[in-house]
Amino acid sequence: MGKVQNYIDDNRQRFLDELLDLLRIPSVSADPAFAGDVKKTAQAVAKSLKAAGCKNVKVNKTKGHPIVTGERIVNSKLPTVLVYGHYDVQPADPIELWDSPPFEPVIKKVRGHKQGAIFARGACDDKGQMYMHVKALEAMTKTKNVPCNIKFMIEGEEEVGSVNLEGFIKKNKKALNCDVVLVSDTSIISNKVPSITTGLRGLSYVEVEVSGANRDLHSGVYGGAVANPLNVLADMISSLKGKNGKIKIPNFYDDVLEVTKEERKAMNNAPFDIKAYKRELKINDTMGEKGYTVLEQTSIRPTLDVNGMWGGYIGEGAKTVLPAKAFAKISMRLVPNQDPDKITKLFTKHFKSLAPAGVKVKVTPHHGGEPAVTPTNTIEYKAASLAMEKTYGAEPIPQRSGGSIPIVSLFENILKVKTILMGFGLDTDDIHSPNEHFGIENYFKGISTIPYFYEYYTALKSGEKVDLSA
């Protein structure tokens, strides 16, 4: 394993340059205008997998964006790890808030990253974290140190709900056969306090449209008598939550798995500085469900957030229009054992019931995802924990995260395997925001840690003990 780490050290600059090249292709999966770039990115990923020693590399067509697969089979008797990642990225909007162009990566100093960070859309989520696996494989194959079989499945639709992934996995169940799935698409607590994500929130995402009259109206001539869809939509959204932060959709909390007092106590022992949190976000106070701490509000409790809203005149100056339509994108983060389809149905029924007679309401579901919890008493969890302890010098804390990676339950349901969420980003990396970045240290820590995971996982699976001092 020493050879692997030496190889990584010797190829540092190239490993960095290759990631920057990948970040230059704007693979925004949500916007059809970027479809060509998404395809180009898939081909670039395939090329780099081949160069890293993958065999049988394919750019698999889907109804949407392609899925890249490849494998390095060492011995059929050894365990098999399936690496999942995604090469697509979030839209860069609002572009005007970026300090440098989102698809022209630059390395800059930033608080929390002593060696600087790469600023670009996708730097962390997930091109950077996905590419760590490609480079780790390269280091292992070139030094002839591949401890087990490794398969890759890198998709291009994670940011739009992985709509074609389920069909693909079902169709290629045999080829994707494995013992565990390894994903780097989450974060650690800090560069000094490593952690492994053991819980994820699910997601229900809808778009709503409220329509009033058949056209935009003059607010003087009609104002006061005709329903204003913007006022009505504000009323409807406002009524979805109570003053205590509780969501008022009937039966919304029915399936929520209540966390025990002991678990909540342990959770709140994680290092968390509320003053630093508020200072970093420049807010005077937090705002959430009463009776829960910030750590609880963002992990074990469901939420309802308006992700976008628009209608009427939004240009410069004043226009006295009574708009014909108003729109909002609304998402709910879900916790075990809430079912996204059930929640979407409950939302739709309730939201429509809120509409006054003067308007019409349309609810369109976007993608959803099931919540998930990973057990910490498995061989795969132990292997990941030991690998991080080896490179960080500290045992990682198991942590439940607020985000959603819907594919985790997909793997569990179809491939019948557990997923290890061993991410290396930080919560402050501004993924999904302007100025997304990924620490240089984090990138290389990932590349160094991944080979240890394979080594320890293979050892533990065969009943061997792991010696971290070796």
Residue with tokens 């969890």: 381
* Part of the chain binding a copy of itself (CB under 8 A), chosen from 30-38, 61-69, 379-387, 443-451: 30-38
C-alpha span between 288 and 303 (Å, rounded):
9
Q: Min. distance of Cβ 368 from a copy of itself in angstroms?
A: 10
- Asked if 392 touches a copy of itself (CB under 8 A), the answer is no
Q: Which of 213, 373, 414, 440 binds a copy of itself (CB under 8 A)?
A: 213
Residue pair 363/440 in contact by the 8 Å Cβ criterion: no
**Alpha-carbon distance values, 13 to 18, 341, 350 (Å):** 9, 46, 55
Whether 345 contacts 339, CB under 8 Å:
no
| Residue 216 beta carbon to a copy of itself: minimum distance, rounded to whole angstroms | 4
Instruction: Tell me how far, at minimum, the Cβ of 369 lies from a copy of itself, in Å.
Output: 10
308 interacts with a copy of itself by CB under 8 A: yes
Q: How far is the CB of 63 from a copy of itself (least distance, A)?
A: 15
What are the CA-CA distances from residue 29 to residues 26, 32, 123, 205, 408 (Å)? 9, 7, 15, 17, 20
Residue 310 engages a copy of itself in binding (rule: CB under 8 A): yes
Q: Does residue 307 touch a copy of itself according to CB under 8 A?
A: yes
Out of 158, 179, 436, 455, which one is annotated catalytic? 158
Say if strands 321-322 and 425-426 run parallel, antiparallel, or are unpaired: unpaired
**Interface with a copy of itself, residue 134, by CB under 8 A:** no
Q: Which of 71, 88, 155, 159 is catalytic?
A: 88
Which amino acid makes up residue 271? P
Site for a copy of itself contains 323 (CB under 8 A): yes
- Angstrom distance (rounded) from CA 56 to CA 67: 13
**Nearer residue to a copy of itself within complex by CB, 366 or 382:** 366
Determine whether 37 is an active site residue.
no
| Phi and psi at residue 440, to the nearest 5° | -60, -45
Q: Supply 154's token pair.
A: 């890198």
Binding characters for a copy of itself, 174-203, by CB under 8 A (x = yes): -------------x-------------x-x
Site string for a copy of itself, 349-388 (x = CB under 8 A): -------xxxxx-----xx---------------------
Interface with a copy of itself in residues 248-287 (CB under 8 A): 281-287
Q: Which residues contact 4 (CB under 8 A, 6 or more apart)?
A: 139, 140, 143, 145, 451
**Closest distance of CB 370 from a copy of itself, Å:** 14
Q: Does 339 bind a copy of itself (CB under 8 A)?
A: no
Pick the closer one to a copy of itself by CB: 29 or 448. 29
Q: Which CB, 48 or 204, lies closer to a copy of itself?
A: 204
Segment 72-131, which members bind a copy of itself (CB under 8 A)? 90-91, 93-94, 97
Instruction: Give, in order, the Cα–Cα distances in Å from 266 to each of 81, 134, 296, 348.
Output: 31, 35, 11, 36
Between the two ends of the chain, the Cα-to-Cα distance in Å is 10
Burial of 220 (0-12, 13-18, 19+ CB in 10 A): exposed
Q: Which of 39, 58, 142, 241 binds a copy of itself (CB under 8 A)?
A: 241
Where would I find the H helices in 173-290? 229-238, 261-267, 274-281
Chain centroid to Cα 138, Å, comes to 25
Distance of CA 251 to the CA centre of its chain: 27
Q: Of 27, 403, 383, 380, nearest to 186 (Cα)? A: 403
- Total residues in contact with a copy of itself, by rule CB under 8 A: 102
Closest separation in Å from C-beta 470 to a copy of itself:
36
Q: Which of 9, 10, 170, 313 binds a copy of itself (CB under 8 A)?
A: 313
| Cα 100 from chain centre | 23
DSSP run (H or E) holding 420: strand 419-421
**Residue placing its CB nearer to a copy of itself in the complex, 262 or 285:** 285
Q: Which residue in the set 80, 162, 198, 331 belongs to the binding site for a copy of itself (CB under 8 A)?
A: 331
List the x/- string, 409-438, binding to a copy of itself by CB under 8 A.
------------------x--xxxxxx---
Closest contact distance (angstroms) between CB of 397 and a copy of itself is: 16
Binding segment (CB under 8 A) for a copy of itself, from list 74-82, 135-143, 291-299, 440-448: 291-299
Q: Report the nearest approach of a copy of itself to the CB of residue 222 (Å).
A: 6
Q: Is 17 a catalytic residue?
A: no
| Side-chain-side CA neighbours of residue 288 (13 Å) | 14
Binding residue for a copy of itself, selected from 166, 209, 235, 441, defined by CB under 8 A = 235
Return the number of the residue (398 or 423) whose C-beta is nearest a copy of itself. Answer: 423
Q: CB of 213 within 8 A of CB of 258?
A: no
- Which single residue is written with the structure tokens 């009259």? 213
Q: Under rule CB under 8 A, which residues in 146-165 are in contact with a copy of itself?
A: 159-161
Collapse the DSSP code of 153 into the 3-class scheme (helix H, G, I; strand E, B; otherwise coil) and give the result: strand
CB closer to a copy of itself out of 216 and 255 = 216
Nearest to 270 by CA among 359, 398, 146: 398
Active site residues: 88, 158
